Structure 1
Amino acid sequence: MDKVGLKAYLEETVDELVHKVSWPTWSELQSSGIIVMIASVLIAVAVLIMDVVFGINPGGIFGWNGVFGLFYGIDS
């Protein structure tokens, strides 16, 4: 791409970002951020619960005791 084409491309890109893109308001951004944080915590809790439930493995018959079993088994 030559310099003229690159300059035109960059000018069009800036024009589109400034004039054609609808950016969220501050309150929309905050509410979306809160939703993402809540969803992340819920997914993390769900994964933790699944790890604990599927990690209940008496005697390590299947070789996996969950992440907690892995951490607690390091020193033994």
Structure 2
Amino acid sequence: MLNYIKESYNELTNHVTWPTWAEAQRLTVIVAVFSVVLALAVWGVDSVFSKVISQYFEWIKA
């Protein structure tokens, strides 16, 4: 287990290319914007389907 931790640390410090602070901030903003857009799209589709299903049950109830 200790060897695994040492090798993992070595991999992270010597072989991983880390983004610059500015690039990390830019990518974080992009992810946040797309997350909000996707959430709004899911909310919209859910609202439409909810109304369609409600209308369907009103229709078959009558």
TM-score by structure 1 length?
Answer: 0.61
Q: Show the counterpart of 2:26.
A: 31
Tell me, which stretches of 5 or more residues in structure 2 are unaligned? none
Q: Show the counterpart of 1:61.
A: 57
Determine which structure has greater relative contact order: mean sequence separation of CA pairs < 8 Å that are 6+ residues apart, divided by chain length: 1
Q: Distance in 1 between matches of 2:46 and 2:5?
A: 48
Q: Show the counterpart of 2:45.
A: 50
- What percent of counterpart residues are identical? 38
* CA shift for structure 1 position 38: 0.6
Choose between structure 1 and 2: higher helix proportion: 2
Tell me, which stretches of 5 or more residues in structure 1 are unaligned? 1-5, 63-76
* CA shift for structure 1 position 13: 2.1
Find the structure with the greater CA-based Rg. Answer: 1
Q: Distance in 2 between matches of 1:10 and 1:53?
A: 50
Q: Distance in 1 between matches of 2:48 and 2:2?
A: 58
Q: Distance in 1 between matches of 2:27 and 2:57?
A: 44
